Chain A
Amino acid sequence: MAYFKKSPWLIHYDGSSCNGCDIEVLACLTPLYDVERFGIINTGNPKHADIFLVTGSVNQQNVDIIRNIYNQMPDPKVVIAAGICACSGGIFAECYNVMGGIDKVIPVDVYVQGCAVRPEAIIDGVVKALGILEERYARAKAA
């Protein structure tokens, strides 16, 4: 049996976010939402993480960084795009520096819209991602 559902560790990266979504992500850690109940830990190190939670969109400066962090995460892993900027660029989509949502760089598994994305939505997204993670692990093991 897989334990990813019981112990999902995530790394949170802020692309070109206005920090609104980041604050909501951090709010999940506060006593009001307390995601540690589900074993979720915000680890700052991609090598320890299962879930890559990205807020904000991709621009020229962070495109390589997002790719590097994604590559340094060990398998199995999932990507969550939190907030509309991460999904598609949001209200900044037409700025000269913004390349778009993070699916321009890495494969995204769960899109969570919102501006800013609400903690309940984030938690929902994480739960969905965990299902995908378990599936991915089972498939990799069978192969």
Chain B
Amino acid sequence: MKTIAIGIAYVLLAPVIGGLLVGLDRIISARMQRRVGPPILQPFYDVFKLLQKKTVVVNRLQNPAIFCHLFFMIATGFLFFEGSDILLILFVLTLSGVFLVLAASASGSPFSHIGAERELLLMTAYEPMVLMMLVGIYKVTDSFHFYAILESAKPLIVYLPGIFVGFLYILTMKLRKSPFDISYSHHAHQELVKGIMSDMSGKSIAMVEIAHWYENVFLLGLVYLFFGFSPALGIVAVILTYVFEILVDNTFARFRWELAFRSAWLVALVLGGGNLIALYALMGGA
């Protein structure tokens, strides 16, 4: 029961926290560029404004898909914080991503189409690493459930250093930051116009934006897992990771898609695979 309450709290609070995080992101980025930046509530103003615009669609297939994208993204986070099997949750996240790609393809515009293809490339690029991460966590703690993993009090970061670094690499992809923002970048940046979002407007963008907030909180929850044995350390690690990602965003130029794809797979193989092999060698097979 308690976990369901936490799950519901996630559903209600994650957009607020996620939005604030994005606002913080913009302020920190601005300061790094010697600017002042928008107020911290800016993402909320953006979303409310978007909800007030008329929604223009190309055909009737787009918005149901976007709605499903948002719904399953919320479901992912809810299930995660409610303590369900995180391997299944990974696949629900993939489902959410698939819906976004389908929404973009439905419009039949060249820009959305390329954005959708690149989004697929990104998904293919980061999935091996995430899978290896989940298997690594299971190997160490014998569980796929958030609370059981925390209760085992094992310092995952000590057992899974390679996997953590690999996860940071692909976290940049999931947070849509340079150098991996090849399918859709933050509002101020363009990538083939707006990439996957090129033919969305009004409520559609608002839904995708809110889904992104939910996703941010979920991803930072995954980061917390690595340091969960000490809650204070966990929160510090989450904040530092987020700031680190913002730093990477502002420092690197966008990669070409081939480089992004190949490097992600290479990192997954070396860091993720290497960590797994070492883990099995040291911990034994059963």
Contact = CB atoms under 8 A, between A and B. Distances in A.
Direct contact of A and B (CB under 8 A): yes
Interface of A: 2-4, 6-7, 9, 31, 34, 36-39, 41-45, 47-48, 50, 72, 74-76, 137
A88 to B, nearest CB: 30
Contacts of A47: 56, 198-201
Given A45-B194, A45-B198, A39 B55 contact: no
Nearest to A1: B48
A39 B45 CA distance: 8
Nearest to A32: B35
A4 B52 contact: yes
Contact of A76 (B37, B48, B53, B56): B53
Contact of B26 (A6, A31, A36, A42): A36
A45 B194 CA distance: 7
A3 B193 CA distance: 24
A48 B188 CA distance: 11
Mostly, the B contact residues are loop
Contact of B46 (A7, A44, A74): A7
B193 A44 contact: yes
15 contacts: A2-B52, A3-B46, A6-B49, A34-B30, A34-B36, A36-B26, A37-B36, A43-B194, A45-B197, A47-B56, A47-B199, A47-B201, A72-B56, A74-B54, A75-B54
Contacts of A37: 35-38
A137 B202 CA distance: 14
Contacts of B200: 47-48
Interface residues of B, number: 31
A39 B42 contact: yes
Which 6 A-B residue pairings sit nearest by Cβ, starting from the closest? A6-B45, A3-B49, A47-B201, A7-B49, A7-B45, A3-B48
A47 B52 CA distance: 14
Interface string B29-49: 010011111110010011011
Contacts of B54: 74-76
Contact of A39 (B46, B201, B202): B46
B188 A41 contact: yes
Given A2-B52, A36-B35, A47-B56, A41 B202 contact: no
B109 to A, nearest CB: 10
A128 to B, nearest CB: 18
B187 interface: yes
B205 interface: yes
Residue picked from B30, B35, B39, B190, most chain A C-beta under 10 Å: B35
Given A41-B187, A48-B201, A74 B53 contact: yes
A43 B198 contact: no
Nearest to A75: B54
A7 B42 contact: yes
A137 B52 contact: yes
A8 B34 CA distance: 22
B193 A36 contact: no
Contacts of A41: 187-188
Nearest to B55: A74
B130 to A, nearest CB: 30
Contacts of A7: 42, 45-46, 48-49
A82 B45 CA distance: 26
B198 A36 contact: no
A45 B188 contact: no
A36 B188 contact: yes
Contacts of A75: 53-54
Given A3-B48, A74-B56, A44 B35 contact: no
Given A37-B35, A43-B194, A74-B54, 11 more contacts: A2-B52, A6-B45, A34-B37, A43-B188, A44-B190, A45-B193, A47-B199, A47-B201, A48-B187, A74-B53, A74-B55
Contacts of A42: 188
A26 to B, nearest CB: 12
